[in-house]
Chains A and B, each alone.
Chain A
Amino acid sequence: MPKLTITRLLVMLCVLTLLASGCAKKPVVEQPVAAPESTQVEMTQQQPAAVTEQAVTDTATNAYDAAAAARAAERAASKGLARIHFDFDQYILTPAAKSILVSNAGLLRAAPAVKVLIEGHCDERGSDEYNLALGEKRALAAKNYLVSLGVAADRMSVISYGEEMPIDPAHTKEAWAKNRRANFKVKR
């Protein structure tokens, strides 16, 4: 009797295991139906073009996602947009400033969704109100040059802080040179 019971138990266990594995497998059959559907929905919502499998295999790792590419260009713009500097009491763009703006324009053209705030600044010398006007002229000079390089004017806004926000608060020629600038801030 005990022996029989043990064999019966063993048999039952085997049957149970089989049943269990069978049960476990059953949803696997159904899942593939549900899963691709949901990913497809996501993909069409995000970027329909990205669904094509060719892009994944043919090109570099993250380039299959145009959204990611745009984000990367945005990141490149917000990190890469370099500030430009000016001579004392001047808002004319120096050759050095122009070449920086050429590179900034490239970054901005690559990231067409990015909007940018151009801040004009002055050194501490000069009167505060005059410098507010001068800072605005500097920001506008930068904006106009970027427009000439193909960046849409409506993507750029300007603000002048005059001499209110120096990078370097020292009262030296070096500090003044650093502070006479236009900055580019990516707006979210």
Chain B
Amino acid sequence: MKTFEIGVLLIILLCLPFSVAFAARIEISAPGEQTIPLAMTRLLPMGVGAAQPAIATEFQQVLLGDLDLSGLFDMVDPAAFLGDADKLGLRRNDIDFNQWRMLGSEALIKGGYRVTAGRVTIELRLFDVITQRLLTGRRYVGKLTDVRKIAHTFADQILKSLTGEKGPFASKIAYISKRTGYKELYLMDVDGYHPIQMTNHRSIVLNPDFSPTRKELIFTSYSKGNPDLFRKEIYTGRESRLSLKPGLNIGGRYSPDGREIALTLSKDKNSEIYLLGTDGTIHRRLTNHYSIDVDPSWSPKGNKIAFVSDRRGNPNIFIVDIHSLDVTRLTFEGKYNATPAWSPKGDKIAFSRMDNGVFNVFTIREDGTDERQLTFGKGSKEHPRWSPDGRFLIYSNDLGGEKSIWIMRADGTGGRKISARGGNDSHPAWSDRW
């Protein structure tokens, strides 16, 4: 678990006059709508320590990856950079803003690094080129292996400075991989790096979900001969069975406040949606129908749950009010709609629809309007889950014969594979801010 020790200490908020000018001038409500011309210089060595260009290269690669995925930026070509790019000056007065303005850049990232006694210090600045103001300044200190994490953390900060809402790049993805020959639970970074095997059940592990309040995961495992719901503390590795009713104990999802878990049980010989307490006791049964009811997903307010049911024939998405138990039908198009995921922003529900044997990801509003297809083409795309800021979706895609984890923007653009080959990776879940 050492990798999870947060070796990165966000030490000093270097500059307080956090500017809202940028957010006011460039309104960004959704990715891809408008892009900011951004220049990002290479990290330069600070002080007396020997230069370690590998640090600058790794940092740049990770940060560029995040900024590209965000879809918010139009990167200025580094080949066009003028003299100021090679100067370490990080203070406002040291920077020749006119050079950057000439290149058409509206925002500028400058930074430096220093290595002392095996620890790396990285100082970063984001400037508004037009107003010549510092938007955010950060100093990070960590181990040499923390460079990626520092880059992700700064990417989150850049999004916060420019849009008012932090990015999700420093969070974690849980997923199921068959790398060892058995389906086991894994964790990785949002860009697919640092995969870590979390279970060794040598059985079938399925469908993880993060606790919103603790560093904890729930998932289903057949390791005791029945599909039981397990809970696992991420840092201690402590694991216990939370629900072991006869039959299915599957699709567990924490409520937004972390106090209850919605899941499917079939203890009465038919799959129904229930609410459990975090001690595993049944609080409430939400559905009562002889058809299949599976795949619960909470609304961010915690008062409604979207789920899949074939009560009208084919599998479709329905919504149940957890207080009145009123059930309304959400999807009417297509013959097979499954795996709903309610956006943390509340406005949309993502789901996958199968057509001619191939799943694609769609979104729809809670009232059933504005249905949009986000993915197209070959490969079955299933199990969409939202990033904590609602900007991105993660899903599995079997393009090329084996399943892998992909990520895209909430409007369906920018899709890319993040998990490595050979894992048959599926069932992704996105952590809250880590």
Interface residues of A (CB under 8 A from B): 89, 125-130, 132-134, 136-137, 140, 158-161, 164
Chain B residues near A (Cβ < 8 Å): 183, 204, 206-207, 222, 225-227, 247-248, 250-251, 264, 266, 269-271, 292-295, 308, 310, 314-315, 336, 338-339, 352, 354, 357, 359, 382-383, 426-427
Closest to B226 in A: A159
Contact yes or no, A127 B248, CB < 8 A: no
Known contacts A130-B294, A132-B294, then 19 further A-B pairs from the complex at CB < 8 Å, ordered by chain A residue: A89-B310, A89-B314, A126-B336, A126-B354, A127-B294, A127-B315, A127-B339, A127-B382, A128-B383, A129-B294, A129-B295, A129-B308, A129-B338, A130-B292, A132-B248, A132-B264, A160-B227, A160-B248, A164-B204
Q: Which of A130, A132, A136, A140 contacts B315 (CB 8 A)?
A: A130
B271 in contact with A133 (CB, 8 Å)? yes
CA distance A136 to B268 in the complex (A): 12
B338 in contact with A137 (CB, 8 Å)? no
Q: Which A residues lie within 8 Å of B204 (CB)?
A: 161, 164
User: CA–CA, A160 to B265, complex, Å?
Assistant: 12
CB of A132 within 8 A of CB of B250, answer yes
Chain B contact surface mostly: strand
Q: Which residues of B contact A129 (CB under 8 A)?
A: 207, 250-251, 264, 294-295, 308, 338-339
The complex places the Cα of A127 from the Cα of B352 at a distance, in Å, of 9
Cβ-defined contact, A137 with B292, below 8 A: yes
* CB closest chain-A residue, reference B183: A164
Which residues of A are found within 8 Å of B426, using beta-carbon distances?
128
A127 to chain B: closest residue by CB: B338
Point out the residue from A89, A130, A137 that lies within 8 Å of B308, measured CB to CB: A130
Report whether B292 and A133 are in contact in the complex, using a CB–CB cutoff of 8 Å.
yes
> For the complex, what is the distance from the CA of A136 to the CA of B354, rounded to whole Å?
21
CB distance from A133 to the nearest CB of B (A): 4
Residues from chain B with Cβ under 8 Å of A137 in the complex: 270, 292
Task: Take A126-B315, A127-B315, A127-B339 as given contacts and tell me if A136 and B248 are in contact as well, using a CB distance cutoff of 8 Å.
Answer: yes
Closest chain-A Cβ to B419's Cβ sits at a distance in Å of 17
Whether A133 and B266, one on each chain, are in contact in the complex, defined by CB atoms closer than 8 angstroms, is: yes
Contact of B354 among A125, A132, A140, A159 (CB under 8 A): A125
Q: What is the CB-to-nearest-CB distance from A102 to chain B, in angstroms, rounded to a whole number?
A: 23
Write the nearest CB–CB distance from B291 to chain A, whole angstroms.
Answer: 9
Shortest distance from the beta carbon of B312 to any chain A beta carbon, whole Å: 13
Rank and list the top 3 A-B pairs by shortest CB-CB distance, nearest first. A127-B338, A133-B271, A133-B292
Residues of A within 8 A of B352 (CB): 127
Contact B308 A136, beta carbon cutoff 8 Å: no
B354 contacts which chain A residues (CB < 8 A)? 125-126
Contacts of A127 in B (CB 8 A): 294-295, 308, 315, 338-339, 352, 359, 382-383
Residues of chain B within 8 A (CB-CB) of A132 are 227, 248, 250, 264, 271, 294
Contacts of A158 in B (CB 8 A): 247
A176 CB, nearest partner CB in chain B, Å: 9
- Chain A residues near B269: list those with CB within 8 A: 140
| Assembly CA distance A160 to B225 (angstroms) | 11
